[in-house]
Amino acid sequence: MDMSVFDLFKIGIGPSSSHTVGPMVAARRFLLESGMLEQAVGVEAHLYGSLALTGVGHATDKAVILGLMGETPQDVDPSAVEDKLAEAEFDGVLHLLGAKPVPFSARTNLVWHKASTLPEHPNGMRFVLHLQDGSIIERIYYSVGGGFITAAGESQARAPETDAAPVPYPFDTMAQLLEHGRRHGLSIPDMLRANERTRMSDEELDAGLDNIWRVMRECICHGLVTEGRLPGGLDVRRRAAGLWKQAQQAQQQPLNALPHDAVQQVSLYAMAVNEENAAGGRVVTAPTNGAAGIIPAVLRYYAEDCRPIDPVRGVRDFLLASSAIGMLCKKNASISGAEVGCQGEVGVACAMAAAGLVAALGGSNEQIENAAEIGIEHHLGMTCDPIGGLVQIPCIERNGMGAIKAITAASLAMKGDGTHFVSLDSAIETMRQTGADMQVKYKETSLGGLAIHVVTVNHAAC
């Protein structure tokens, strides 16, 4: 396993890791690798499959342009995005990597191939750089989920910041990780920490984990106070802030509180994050943007409601253990809604959160595995059918439900001794096979499911 915890948890912008973050990274990478920027006189980006079908709703067009400008998901200012794009379109000029000016218009230089897919993944992109001598440089990339990208022919997702040095506890399956734990007497968070130490110091690791949690907290807090309507044409009202006010008022009047108010609070954390994501705000991919609310919601539940003795260590252990689950799902199945449906996004995030919560509460490795398996098992077959191609309905509410399921899964696992019938490895393989069997119209294409039973605006005409 050559992934790092910081490959699963990446700071970026909404609304989609595969349709926004990945294309932005790919566009920038194409220009960096071309080596011919000074000779450029034009550029085109061709989007295929799911990227073409739901790309406008997922802001793929904006992401590609920003990537060509040289912006990165972690550094771009979400509040400045629209102004940057409007200026480039008005001028009819794009400054490649912020330096080389070429003529450009989104209407003509972005080409949507809705009826075609490229061979290696549903999220395919083809970039073409036109040079002064009339020749071109052309390359194909794939956005394979969670912000990971590959070039055509690459066998694994590109993670530029990951050092592939040998790790002390290598694993490709949960069975291998559990065996390491039994043999060396170590917890899953301890083994993940040891693996990360081949890439960085403990201080660097902890600073990185603490920063991930800081951005998650800020995202929740901003989402809980921001009202209004979400962009995209569906005119969806942001609900988290209003419901949060009601929840706070109910706490001040306990006699009128409903039994489910405490449960609703956790779901509001998740919804707040995904409303921020839908608005193009700053979020942490966990492991995708479409499922970015589940882990922060369960983490805040842990930090505030579980009365931890050492919350700082608990949060770090949570993120390390949950990353192990995400790595296994990424390697042995998929975290791409366009490849396996929403079971690979909300389902995986639920499993990661459940495992992380058990780890933070001091559960055994076997209980961690059990919690993750429960989280996956009860999302098997979940389709990805966003209405209008937007990461709003049913995505936002699904995160709220996924957070509650994660806590339930952790509770069930903690009340047992770790023994269970279905292994996590079996559940992950089942998810992979289920995704392979799923019809394309249910895999982030907006051609089936809820997406065709609600009248929406025609984004292609906007």
Question: What CATH number has the domain bearing residue 34?
Answer: 3.30.1330.90
Task: Tell me which DSSP letter residue 229 carries.
Answer: B
Backbone angles phi, psi at 380, to 5 degrees: -60, 130
Place of tokens 């081949």: 198
Measure the CA angle with vertex 68, ends 64 and 70; round to 5°. 120
Q: Which residues contact 75 (CB under 8 A, 6 or more apart)?
A: none
How many domains are there within the chain? 2
pLDDT digits (tens, 9 = 90+) for 420-443: 999 999 999 999 999 999 999 999
* pLDDT exceeds 90 at position 456: no
Measure the CA angle with vertex 133, ends 127 and 135; round to 5°. 35
Chain mean pLDDT for the chain: 93
Residues 435 and 335 in one domain: yes
Give alpha helix (H) positions in 39-143.
49-53, 60-69, 81-91, 106-109
Find the domain containing 299 and state its range.
174-454
Residues 108 and 208 in one domain: no
Residues 70 and 197 in one domain: no
* pTM, rounded to two decimals: 0.93
Whether 38 maps to a domain, the answer reads yes
How many residues can be counted in the chain? 462
Q: How far is CA 137 from the centre of its chain?
A: 30
What is the identity of the amino acid at 457? Answer: V
Confidence category of residue 258, pLDDT binned at 50, 70, 90: low
* pLDDT exceeds 70 at position 217: yes
Residues 231 and 103 in one domain: no
Edge-to-edge strand list for the sheet holding 136-145: 110-113, 40-48, 123-131, 136-145, 148-151
Q: What is the pLDDT of residue 158?
A: 44
| Maximum Cα interatomic distance, the chain, rounded to a whole number of Å | 78
Q: Which two tokens stand for residue 298?
A: 């369960």
Whether 462 maps to a domain, the answer reads no
pLDDT digits (tens, 9 = 90+) for 317-376: 999 999 999 999 999 999 999 999 999 999 999 999 999 999 999 999 999 999 999 999
